[in-house]
Amino acid sequence: MKKILFLSVILSLMSSCNGQEKKEVKSTVDTSKQVTKRETIKLDKIALNKSVDDILKGFNLSKDDNHNTMYNLNLDYEEFSFSPDHDFKFNDLNIGKISSLIIYYLKNNNAAFVYELELENNSNSDALITEFNNNFGKQSFYKKLENTKQHPIFLDENGEQETRHMTEELIKWKDDQNNLTYFVTLRKNIDTKENKLHVIAISNSSKKFDEWIDFRSLDMAFPK
């Protein structure tokens, strides 16, 4: 029980904790530029372990179109954030509204090593998981947890036992064609129909693979 509660805290606070860490370690320079382009961004065409410039060129974009206005001066990687105003697809699925899509790349050679997608209250979250199943085949890991008022296993943002009826699915795929590993977390509030999907795709051949697993605390949720 303690392990499950601890795991729930890590997953629910993953985004916010990492965001706080970035704010603490970042010295920043404003590089803001108003985004006027509207392109179709196909996630299945994001080929990691290659130059981020080449990836963006395939979408008629460049680093100048970065939706993130902060430049990281301290770490060995940088991030490119897509404007949510673009159209997003995976195969032929129109994903719809996203919360964020970020590609992380190394400063020394521009090599992209991970992309992360977040959807919140998006009706296509299950459909995107179906597309992943169709593309990548058998899941290498799957686990589903269910929280109820009578049997609480999650903690809320205040560290108290969660009383709402919620489910959480943890799914892992190997994308052999592109040499990536996908880590997916889908949390649903059964009563309110709210949902949140977090996708992390990491290049298996990148030197940052193990570091990102640790940074995102993925080893607490997914087996090696």
**CA dihedral (58, 63, 64, 70) positive or negative:** positive
With a threshold of 0.95, does the pTM exceed it? no
141/34: higher pLDDT: 141
Tell me: the pLDDT tens digits for 147-170?
Answer: 999 999 888 888 899 899 999 999
Beta-strand ranges (E) seen in the chain are: 40-42, 77-81, 87-90, 93-94, 100-106, 112-120, 141-147, 166-175, 180-189, 195-203
Residue 164 Cα distances to 8, 86, 191, angstroms: 14, 34, 8
Share of the chain above pLDDT 70, in %: 84
Q: How confident is the model at residue 70 (pLDDT cuts 50, 70, 90)?
A: confident
Digit-coded pLDDT (tens) for 120-147: 999 999 999 999 999 999 999 999 999 9
Give the residue, 204 or 2, on which the prediction is more confident: 204
Across all residues in the chain, what is the average pLDDT? 86
**166-175 and 141-147 strand pairing:** antiparallel
Q: Is residue 31 pLDDT above 70, yes or no? A: no
Q: At 150, list the tokens.
A: 């009578």
Q: Residues near 19 by Cβ (< 8 Å), separated by ≥ 6?
A: none
Which of 63, 62, 103 shows the shortest CA–CA distance to 208? 103
pLDDT tens per residue across span 86-101: 999 999 999 999 999 9
